[in-house]
Amino acid sequence: MMATKLGGEGLVKELCNGFELLMDKEKGVITLESLRSNAAAVLGIEDMKEDELVSMMREGDIDGDGYLSQMEFCVLMFRLSPELMEESWFLIEQALQNHDDELVSNNNKNKNKNNSNSSIS
């Protein structure tokens, strides 16, 4: 529902905003410490235990550097929210269809342009 309401670009913007609220401003990534200190305020999770925070970091840390990059954070959010994942597939399909429609439209314009140029010659 959130993805549908926001649309593709809005969803990406929201995820980026969430990342920025959780990240360590100096390092530009989410660290265990920045997650610990910002989780209550940003995520509304006040009783999150240390092992849950560590587990969340491990689950999202794809490259194993101990931090969450913006991409890792976004992937983690999709994995933790199956509903968000389902909705995002709809948005991706819609964006691909729009892209295909745009390609067809541009192709038709180019054909028409080429046809009018060849009739001039």
- What is the domain-level CATH number for residue 14? 1.10.238.10
Helix locations, 23-69, DSSP H: 32-43, 50-60
Amino acid at position 6, single letter: L
Look at the alpha carbons of 15, 17, 23, 26 in this order and tell me if their dihedral is positive or negative: positive
User: What is the pLDDT confidence band of residue 49, given thresholds at 50, 70 and 90?
Assistant: confident
Residue 32 structural domain: 2-120
Give me the mean pLDDT over the 41-48 stretch. 68
pTM above 0.75, yes or no: no
Give me the mean pLDDT over the 20-41 stretch. 89
pLDDT of residue 119: 54
Describe the crossing of helices 2-22 and 70-80 by its angle, rounded to 10 degrees: 140
Q: 53 vs 24, which has greater pLDDT?
A: 24
Give me the mean pLDDT over the 92-111 stretch. 63
Q: How many domains does the chain have?
A: 1
